[in-house]
Amino acid sequence: MLNLPFSGSIPIYIALGLLFVSLAFLIGFIYNRVRRLMYRLRRRPVARVGIVTSTLRLLLILLAVAVSAAILFLFAFIQSYTALTHRALVAEAFCTPVPGQKDEMTLWLVTFESPHVGYLSQYRLGGHQWAIEGHILKWDEWLNFFGLQTMYKLSRVRGRYIRVQDERSKPATAYSLVANEEDPHWRWLYEYGARLPFVTAVYGNTVFTFPSETKTFRIYITPSGFMIEEGER
């Protein structure tokens, strides 16, 4: 499955609707005033409206326009900030070196299908660092404003050596996080995704860090890809 999370923009739509309604009342008010003026110039009968009542109506309409516009801009700013800084937890890891073994570590990885559902797996990795890989589909940035977030899929964990020579000469360890590593959907997106409207890029993303006896690691999806955040146990 492709993860396609949306964030709510309901307050913006409500504020926008209120602004349109307020502007419609303002246009209606101006139209009525112009029509009354034209009737008077043509000496036609027209119902009288007190200047106090008319002024009060105008002030209320202008107040509604100002309030709804202010609410719209406020929530638009919040939505923009949220879109730029959005991140969602996709996995949590504990990784410690194997006692008495050089360049080996044990990784416990919890992957989240939802904020409340996670799956725990354990892996024995060789190397100096552990790494997690996945697929990324990045939308045009303006779509983030409307709540459309980066699509992703975690695909693999592996051990990583710091030195290239070690990568060439020492055993490589890698484990799949997906049932089908040749997923035709993502294969098609890699081939044609960048040509689709509203898609900025489709690419693979890897993040890695050192194991630790005292730290936990949280993997997040952000507008630009994966990130690792460290925390104390």
Least confident of 58-62, 64-68, 145-149, 227-231: 145-149
pLDDT tens-place string over residues 158-199: 999 999 999 999 988 999 999 888 899 999 999 999 889 999
Residue 11 has pLDDT above 90, yes or no: no
CA distance 64 to 93: 51
Q: SS3 letters for the chain?
A: CCECCECCCHHHHHHHHHHHHHHHHHHHHHHHHHHHHHHHHCCCCCCCCCHHHHHHHHHHHHHHHHHHHHHHHHHHHHHHHHHHHCCEEEEEEEEEECCCCCCEEEEEEEEEEECCEEEEEEEEEECCEEEEEEEEEEECHHHHHCCECCEEEEEEEEEECCCHHHHHHCCCCEEECCCCCCCHHHHHHHHHHHHCCCEEEEEEEEEEECCCCCEEEEEEEECCEEEEEEEEC
Against a cut of 0.75, is the pTM above it? Answer: no
Which tokens belong to 191?
A: 């081939």
**pLDDT score recorded for residue 141:** 80
Given this model, what pLDDT does residue 5 score? 42
* Of 35-49, 53-67, 131-145, the least confident: 35-49
% of the chain residues with pLDDT over 70: 89
Q: Mean pLDDT over residues 92-99, rounded?
A: 95
- Measured between alpha carbons, how far is residue 199 from residues 151, 153, 165 in Å? 11, 16, 38
Model confidence pLDDT, tens digit, residues 191-209: 999 889 999 999 999 999 9
